[in-house]
Amino acid sequence: MLKQRAKAFYLLIAALAAGWFVWSSQAAGSWAGFHPFRLGLDLSGGSHLVYSADVSKLPPGDAAASMAALRDDVEQRINIFGVSEPLVQTEENAALSSGQTAYKLIVELPGVTDTKQAEAAIGATPSLEFRLASSSAVAAFVSSPAATGTTTPLSANPGYMSLFEPTGLDGSSVSRASLEFDQTTNQPIVSLTFNRSGRDLLESVTKNHIGDYLGIFLDGRLIENPTIRDEIPNGQAEISGGFTVAEAQTLVRNINFGALPIPITLISEQTIGPSLGREAVRGGLEAGVTAFVIIGLFLIGWYRLPGLVAVLALAIYAAIMLAMFKLIPVTLTAAGIAGFIITIGMAVDANILIFERMKEELYRGRSVADAMHEGFARAWTSIRDSNVSSIITGAILYYFGSTSVVVGFALVFVIGVLVSMFTAITVSRLFLYAVAPRRETRAARFLVSNGFRRTDIKN
């Protein structure tokens, strides 16, 4: 008895700590750190943009890699634009008319309701450019006061960027970039193949500027500045900048995307105002609190002491779920909140199965302790089977969900089912064993039963 109560006490302290974390972490500078709920587009307000990508001019095997490069480039543009927590993803569907694969780019911009500037930044064709900086100019800059004592790399210094001058070489001059490895050092290198016009211009630039720097700029951002070692007459160049394999792969993707841009066309735009998002949050909170209060009153009124324990377990369930939403973190949408409220009902279903089993055992004349033991044991298989089927359904929705709404609902639903199993079985049992009366009196049996049917011990 004392051991059960000690365990229940420690569990209650842990649950209170989780609840306090959820409450206090909403404010910056709290002891728990700043962990606000991550709200989806439909709750925070913002814009949802859908683009159609034209991959018809790409080789069949390059479409997926080019779409990945497109996604990364748009992410960089949105981050520079200053949008908080943007979502950029690609979608692949079979076109019904032609039978070919259709590619889409989906962009969600929380907090952005005026999308004109964002659309301009997203839709701009990526710019790949090769610029030249003389070694003497770079040496003079390095020794100048402008570069002395700087804590950032020279390539990030605005003065250093101004040393590069246009050469006429740009993305239209490159036909292909690929990843290779040096046969001597086994270090990754990036191989460039220029087209006919680019090959002639590259030969002229490298012939007349040996020892200088050829900067590679993507969207005006310097991504590499190799030194020209020799004349390049055949349109084949190598960039060896001491990359890691991942860095070299990223560089290859960026260059290929700059050389072979994928045209994108805006086909759908949806804007959700911040006031509508706040209304959705308020409605979700009201629905959750109302559901909790009504369910709690029903449990206590009908199931008495076990009902009170179930309400406590339900509060612990809510605290655990909200803490997990913050720590994973889970992006909450209106559909996700609906999934959360549904799992509250599922957690109650498990408790009701247990309590009804307990009542049946009391009717058979078992003692309170035996009735509780049998109630949990006999209800477990039903709870297990129903929750496993729910988890399978949620996993299928999560895996095959084509939109963030479906995926968000499925994720919250599966997490909620798992946590509800823990609170309905472990937490409820622990607290009920800790507070259940030990004496076999009529009042004790009334407290742990439900309804109004008498459950006296049979002779």
Tokens of 179: 């990843």
Q: What value does the mean pLDDT take over residues 132-148?
A: 75
Residues 395-430: tens digit of each pLDDT: 998 888 766 677 778 888 899 889 988 888 888 888
User: In degrees to the nearest 10, what's the CA dihedral of 363, 368, 369, 371?
Assistant: 20
Residue 67 has pLDDT above 70, yes or no: yes
Range name among 11-15, 37-41, 93-97, 140-144 with the lowest pLDDT average: 93-97
Highest mean pLDDT among 33-37, 129-133, 246-250, 436-440: 129-133
Listed residue (24, 83, 41) closest to 281, CA to CA: 41
Mean pLDDT, rounded, of the chain:
79
Question: What pLDDT, on a 0 to 100 scale, did the predictor assign at position 139?
Answer: 79
Range name among 41-45, 311-315, 339-343, 360-364 with the lowest pLDDT average: 41-45
Counting residues of the chain whose pLDDT is more than 70, the rounded percentage is: 82
Listed residue (263, 312, 257, 320) closest to 128, CA to CA: 257
Residue 9 has pLDDT above 90, yes or no: no
Q: What value does the mean pLDDT take over residues 317-332?
A: 85
Say which residue, 272 or 370, is predicted with more confidence.
Answer: 370
Residue 296 has pLDDT above 70, yes or no: yes
Q: What value does the mean pLDDT take over residues 11-23?
A: 87
Q: What value does the mean pLDDT take over residues 443-457?
A: 68
pTM for the structure as a whole = 0.61
The residues that bridge with 48 in the sheet, in sequence order, are 108, 270
User: Which amino acid appears at position 31 of this protein?
Assistant: W
CATH of 2-39+273-448, one of 3.40.640.10, 1.20.1640.10, 1.10.10.60, 3.30.465.10: 1.20.1640.10
Between helix 368-400 and helix 334-363 the angle, nearest 10°, is 150
Residues 281-293: tens digit of each pLDDT: 788 778 878 888 8
Domain spans, the chain? 2-39+273-448, 43-112, 128-259
CATH of 128-259, one of 3.30.1360.200, 3.30.230.10, 3.40.630.30, 3.10.129.10: 3.30.1360.200
Q: What value does the mean pLDDT take over residues 343-356?
A: 84
Highest mean pLDDT among 99-108, 294-303, 326-335: 294-303
Question: What pLDDT, on a 0 to 100 scale, did the predictor assign at position 392?
Answer: 94
Q: What value does the mean pLDDT take over residues 136-161?
A: 66
Residue 454 has pLDDT above 60, yes or no: no
Question: What pLDDT, on a 0 to 100 scale, did the predictor assign at position 388?
Answer: 92
Q: What contacts 333, CB < 8 A, 6 or more positions away?
A: 39, 40, 41, 42, 43, 404, 405, 408, 409
pLDDT band at 389 (very low <50, low <70, confident <90, very high): very high
Q: Checking DSSP bridges between strand 38-39 and strand 331-332, what pairing results, if any?
A: parallel
Residues 75-132: tens digit of each pLDDT: 766 765 555 567 788 888 755 455 567 888 888 887 777 777 667 666 655 567 889 9
Range name among 85-99, 237-251, 378-392 with the lowest pLDDT average: 85-99
Residues 200-224: tens digit of each pLDDT: 999 999 999 998 988 888 667 777 7
Say which residue, 46 or 149, is predicted with more confidence.
Answer: 46
pLDDT band at 459 (very low <50, low <70, confident <90, very high): very low
Cβ-contact 167, 237 below 8 angstroms: no
Q: Checking DSSP bridges between strand 46-53 and strand 101-110, what pairing results, if any?
A: antiparallel
Counting residues of the chain whose pLDDT is more than 90, the rounded percentage is: 4
Q: What value does the mean pLDDT take over residues 172-199?
A: 86
Say which residue, 99 or 175, is predicted with more confidence.
Answer: 175
Tokens of 421: 């199993």
Handedness of CA 432, 435, 441, 443 (dihedral sign): negative
Q: What value does the mean pLDDT take over residues 57-62?
A: 74
